[in-house]
Amino acid sequence: MSKNIFLRLDWLSILIFLLLVSFGILSIYSTTFSEIHVSIFNWSTPAGKQFLIFTFCLLLLPLILLINPNIFEHLSTVFYVLSLVSLIGLFVFGEKINGALSWYLIGGFSFQPSEFAKITTAILVSKSLSSIQIDLNKTSDLIKIILSIIIPVILIFLQPDAGSGIVFFGLIFVLIREGLDIRVLYLGLLLVLLFILSLLFNPIGLSIAILVIFLLVYRLIVRTYPKTNKKPFILVFGISALFIFSVDFIFNSVFEQRHRDRFNIVLGLETDSKGIGYNINQSKIAIGSGGFLGKGFLNGTQTKGGFVPEQHSDYIFSTIGEEWGFLGSFTLIILYTILILRIIFRAEKQTQPFPRIFSYSFASMLFVHFFINIGMTLGLVPTVGIPLPFISYGGTNLLAFSIMLFIYLNLDSNRLN
């Protein structure tokens, strides 16, 4: 065990982090580039601001690395409560931007508490799960955990900021990793499949089709294991049918048209490239026109024309696709994948539960952002307003994910202590 913290650091993750943020700042500079603001270091431009936050994060790095790792565990409840207070405070002191009450404005800086709620919730869940008494198959324990996740989610949904809320559901990966009944995962996957199917097909026809499949599967299993119980089949089919009809009901009666549109476009049920499908269409044009090598930095015609809305934040990946081409986007995806996998592998090496679970939570949240953001930009996932961590413009998001990374680095470097 080296005494020198520098030798114990996960330098690969730090390298990827630096690469991603630099790539991000360049891309933000490109999307907001105009002949008037030429300098990348102009603090009034988005790229300049992002650079400023990045510098601040780099200053924060040694401070967080030097903190005693036990502090996070001890203060988890305090952090959590503070962040709940900050979320509740939004309804009183918050600033409405783009229709959502998600921001505090302090001295010219806007600040989004939901980003920090991601850290505190991850810490609290890690703390709770690392306790020896906990048993995720015990309903009361499970409810306790789920409550600690769902409370910030509800507060965030109320802003309303569905995108940030959805990220918390990434913690389901943590629960499964830590012993939640694996059938929950299968059921979840089944429900996602049913959800898509019920949007594509008539609910009655679909239910009958599923009934037929269940009967066939049941008979097949009964032939080899005659003693198989009927009940779980009936139960699962019941849930499925109920789910199909409720999806149908919710989708058509509870959802607003704009929500419906987002699903319809990804599923190819609508192809209105001027109206509701505009964003995705323009994003795909930008990426597709990049070709193998891309059009070059600051040369993206789609980017310069501002065809893709929110291109410096949620749709930043389309700029990368256009200006850096397949080579750049491929590299970005690979870097991201390596980062997530690296964190998972290092987490698995932890001997203590808290560092492992926290690292795992971090990886899960990163994954959700990665999956939804790039999936949306590529037209594979319904539009959800969610940034690509380290790349997208957004000070709070960069700060929050940097802090999470630094906490991970801290815990990782103290693995053998």
Contact 32, 45 (CB under 8 A): yes
Site for another protein (CB under 8 A): which residue of 22, 110, 289, 352?
289
Residue (of 239, 233, 242, 234) closest to 203 by Cα position: 242
Q: In the window 44-103, what residues touch another protein (CB under 8 A)? A: none
Least distance to another protein, CB of residue 370, Å: 7
* Encoded amino acid at 35, one letter: E
Least distance to another protein, CB of residue 215, Å: 28
Characterize the bridge pairing of strands 95-97 and 100-106.
antiparallel
325-331 own/partner pairs: CB under 8 Å, 24+ apart: 325/290, 325/291, 325/292, 325/293, 325/294, 325/295, 326/290, 326/291, 326/292, 326/293, 326/294, 327/292, 327/293, 327/294, 328/290, 328/294, 329/287, 329/290
Residue placing its CB nearer to another protein in the complex, 100 or 171: 171
Q: Per-residue x/- marks for another protein, 31-50, CB under 8 A?
A: ----x---------------
CA distances from 178 to 134, 143, 175, 185, 189 (A): 10, 15, 5, 13, 18
Q: In the window 352-411, what residues touch another protein (CB under 8 A)? A: 360, 363-364, 367, 370-371, 374-375, 378-380
Least distance to another protein, CB of residue 337, Å: 4
Residue placing its CB nearer to another protein in the complex, 112 or 329: 329
CA–CA separation, 11 and 254 (whole Å): 48
Least distance to another protein, CB of residue 294, Å: 9
Least distance to another protein, CB of residue 234, Å: 26
SS3 call for 24: helix
Contact 184, 174 (CB under 8 A): no
Q: Per-residue x/- marks for another protein, 144-183, CB under 8 A?
A: -----------------------------x--xxxx--x-
Contact 307, 31 (CB under 8 A): no
Site for another protein (CB under 8 A): which residue of 60, 146, 185, 191?
185
Furthest-apart CA pair in the chain: how many Å?
78
Q: Per-residue x/- marks for another protein, 310-339, CB under 8 A?
A: -----------xx--xx--xx--xx-xx--
CA distances from 244 to 109, 184, 330, 364 (A): 45, 18, 37, 28
Residue placing its CB nearer to another protein in the complex, 221 or 380: 380
Least distance to another protein, CB of residue 300, Å: 9
Least distance to another protein, CB of residue 388, Å: 12
**Number of residues in contact with another protein, rule: CB under 8 A?**
50
Taking the CA of residue 363 as centre, how many other CA atoms within 13 Å lie in the half-sphere pointing to its CB? 23
Query: What is the contact surface with another protein in residues (CB under 8 A)?
Result: 35, 173, 176-179, 182, 185, 282, 284-292, 299, 301-302, 304-307, 321-322, 325-326, 329-330, 333-334, 336-337, 340-341, 344, 348, 360, 363-364, 367, 370-371, 374-375, 378-380
